[in-house]
């Protein structure tokens, strides 16, 4: 079980309120007490920032910064994680690939992941 929150500004000129996103994500902490992540997207500048949160592990915090504000982002996602199958920190979300300019945030499990991994 995990939790996802999102907020969007309908104007490219107005940034989202990060405190609102953080509060929304805090309201669903019971859905994922083990990790906290944020993705902020500045649409006009085509800039994406990915952050960890207070409840992220020390290992995640070594590679990511905690977010202090949305800056100029018009789109934001918050994520709370409760790992059941993949317990490693590599499951931190939201995930963002800078090269491909793709982001993903999801709630779910792939139960036959070992079989799929062997086939791939």
CATH number at residue 99: 3.60.20.10
Domain span at 105:
3-119
- If one counts every other C-beta atom within 10 angstroms of the C-beta of residue 89, the result is 18
Average pLDDT, the chain: 87
Q: How many domains is the chain built from?
A: 1
Distance between CA atoms of residues 61 and 75, nearest Å: 23
pLDDT digits (tens, 9 = 90+) for 10-36: 987 889 999 999 999 999 999 988 899
Instruction: Tell me the pLDDT tens digit for each residue of 61-119.
Output: 888 888 777 688 999 999 998 877 666 777 788 888 888 888 988 887 778 878 988 99
Tokens representing 84 are: 């059941």
**Residues marked as catalytic:** 2
Structure tokens at 86: 């993949």
**Rounded CA gap, 85 and 111, in Å?**
8
Residues 6+ apart with CB under 8 A from 79: 2, 3, 4, 5, 25, 32, 35, 36, 37, 38, 39, 93, 94, 105
């Amino acid at each position: 079980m995990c939790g996802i929150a999102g907020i969007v500004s309908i104007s490219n000129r107005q940034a989202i309120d990060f405190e609102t996103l953080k509060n929304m994500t805090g309201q669903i902490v019971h859905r994922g007490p083990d990790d906290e992540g944020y993705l902020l997207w500045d649409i006009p500048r085509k800039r994406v920032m990915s952050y960890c949160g207070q409840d992220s592990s020390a290992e995640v915090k070594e590679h990511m910064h905690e977010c202090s504000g949305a800056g100029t982002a018009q789109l934001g996602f918050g994520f709370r994680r409760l790992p059941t199958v993949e317990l490693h920190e590599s499951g931190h979300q939201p995930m963002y690939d800078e090269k491909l300019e793709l982001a993903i945030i999801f709630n779910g499990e792939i139960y036959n992941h070992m079989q799929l991994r062997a086939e791939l």
